Every structure is written in structure tokens, then in C-alpha cells.
Structure 1
Amino acid sequence: MLSYFHIILIVILVSLIFLFVRLKYIKHKLVWVILLVFVLLVYLGFILSIAGQNINLKTPEGAKLAINLYVGWMGNSFTNLKVLSGQAIKLDWRSLNKTDSNQTNDPLNLESNRDKYRKRITK
């Protein structure tokens, strides 16, 4: 999947950024770590999205094709996340069984508590 060149390049990039952070006093090291993770994710996403396509990145046509594949891959990823989030929202996350007619679907019994509160106020 990833060649040795890509793995070595990632290790060198990570070590250079951490050396830069260690050598120079920076108050916001978390920003550098987040930036490093973001750059690595973009790089790995690009490499994995064009893997197995036999694209020559040295030619303009190959670079354009690689960018189109990466942008399409990212678009499909966001579409899949949207569908996944929508399906997760539709799930019934309550712990009670709806098929049991003796139980209410109100785990905190809010309606009976509300009625007790109203009776105390009206007395």
C-alpha cells in the first residue's frame, strides 16, 4: 500500500517538525501538533486515493488526474459522513423497549412528576 519512500518521507516530516518545535520556544505547541496531524492526513489521503491508478505525477495531465481523484475521494468521504450521521440520528437511543405496552417511553417519568407538581401548586 505505502511504499518505503512514503513511510520514510512521513517519518522525516514528523521528526523535522518535532525538532523545530523542540529547538525553538513556541507557546502554542498544540497548534503545531494539530497542523502536523492535518498535513499527514492530507498527504496519506492523497497517496491512498491515487494508489493503484498508475498515475505519472511528473506530467501535467497526471497531476490533474491525481488532483481530480483526490477531490472526488474527499467529496465521497464527506457524503459518506453525512449519510452516517443522518442514520445515527435516526436510531432509537432510548433504553426502554417500545414493544412492551406496560412501560412508558419516558425513562424519567416526567409526565407523572409534572402532574404531582401541578397538584402541589393548585392546592
Structure 2
Amino acid sequence: MNWIVIAVVAAVILVAFYLLTELKRMKHKFFAVFVILVIVLFIGTAYFVFKDRPLDLNSFEGFKDASKVYMTFLGSAFDNTKTITSNAIRMDWSAKNTTLEPNLRDQK
């Protein structure tokens, strides 16, 4: 009987250790995927922003100008997101469609 209890406790400890190890590994995988997505997003948006602009990234002034252009792009993107979100919040999202009611009454 004692051997069964010891075996069960050992199995529970091994399973707990395995799960904790996998959770830590999963957290590292999640972070790695997040970093990769941020890098891909940066490369894609940088290409979009700089494709029509001749920039000299070999000098400090050129790098400063490129940073200003990219930060302006990010600022306007966040401003547009803020505007869209505030417009969506102010919309009437009720299930009652008031624009159809007068037309439906006229057809009866």
C-alpha cells in the first residue's frame, strides 16, 4: 500500500514538473512569435512608408529624417485608429433599424 502512495505522489510531482516546464517553454515561444510579428510589421510598414521617398540612411541627418517620417506615419495611424474607434462607439448599435420602419409602414 505504501508503494502505491509513493508511486502516485512521484507521478504527480513528475506531471507537475513537466507541466511547469512546458508552460515556461510556451511563454518563451509566445514571446518569440510576438517579437517576430513586431519585426515583420515594422519591415512591412517601413517599406510602405519609404517606398516613394529617397532617404539616405548612411548619415545621421538622413536617419533622423527617416525617423521623423516613420514616427509621423505611426502617429497618424494611431490617430486614425482613435477616430475610427470613437466613431464606432458613438454609433447606434441597437437591433432596431429606424431607417426601415417608415418604408415598411408605407407598404401596408
TM over 0.5: yes
TM-score, structure 2 length as denominator?
0.63
Q: For 1:29, what is the secondary structure of its paired residue?
A: helix
Alpha-carbon distance in structure 2 between the residues aligned to 1:69 and 1:30: 31
Alpha-carbon distance in structure 2 between the residues aligned to 1:66 and 1:97: 48
43-52 or 33-42, which moves further after superposition? 43-52
Partner residue, 2:30: 30
Alpha-carbon distance in structure 2 between the residues aligned to 1:97 and 1:38: 41
Q: Which has the higher helix share?
A: 2
Listed one character per residue, the Cα deviations across residues 45-86 of structure 1 (whole Å, up to 9, x for unaligned) are 223212211111112221111000000000000000000001
Q: For 1:62, what is the secondary structure of its paired residue?
A: helix
The percentage of aligned residue pairs carrying the same residue is: 26
Alpha-carbon distance in structure 2 between the residues aligned to 1:88 and 1:44: 27
Partner residue, 1:13: none
Alpha-carbon distance in structure 2 between the residues aligned to 1:60 and 1:34: 30
Higher relative CO (CA 8 A, sep ≥ 6), structure 1 or 2?
1
Alpha-carbon distance in structure 2 between the residues aligned to 1:47 and 1:90: 34
* Matched residue count: 76
- Residue type of the alignment partner of 2:37: V
Unpaired segments of 5 or more residues in structure 1?
A: 1-25, 102-123
Larger Rg: 2
Partner residue, 1:64: 64
